[in-house]
């Protein structure tokens, strides 16, 4: 069972990313989210699940760091 849905997310600053999988940190066993930028060089990133899910303060408001926007994007690059 996935802790969050796979698919597209919008970062609170506006860029979009695709969650492509999950991993566990080899030392701390912390759950991690593997995600890919849907802009620029389409780099692959990893972030602790706890950071992904925690709300943040932006412009004096509490917002989600990443907002789920739907299923897999329609791009031709391979995912991890």
**Of 68, 22, 14, which Cα lies nearest the Cα of 48?**
22
- DSSP secondary structure string for all residues of 15-37: -EEEEEEEEE-TTT--EEEEEEE
Residues 6+ apart with CB under 8 A from 41: none
Report yes or no on whether pTM surpasses 0.75: yes
Instruction: Tell me the pLDDT tens digit for each residue of 18-69.
Output: 999 999 999 999 999 999 999 999 999 999 999 998 999 999 999 999 999 9
- As assigned by CATH, the class of the 7-70 domain is mainly beta
Q: What is the largest CA-CA distance in the chain?
A: 38
Residue 4 pLDDT: 94
Take residue 34 and report the two structure tokens written for it.
Answer: 């593997």
Domain boundaries defined on the chain:
7-70
């Amino acid at each position: 069972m996935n802790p969050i849905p796979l698919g597209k997310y919008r970062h609170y600053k506006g860029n979009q990313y695709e969650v492509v999988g999950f991993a566990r940190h080899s030392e701390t066993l912390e759950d991690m989210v593997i995600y890919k930028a849907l802009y620029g060089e389409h780099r692959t990133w990893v972030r602790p699940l706890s950071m992904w899910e925690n709300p943040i303060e932006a412009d004096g408001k509490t917002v989600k760091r990443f907002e789920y926007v739907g299923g897999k994007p329609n791009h031709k690059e391979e995912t991890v």
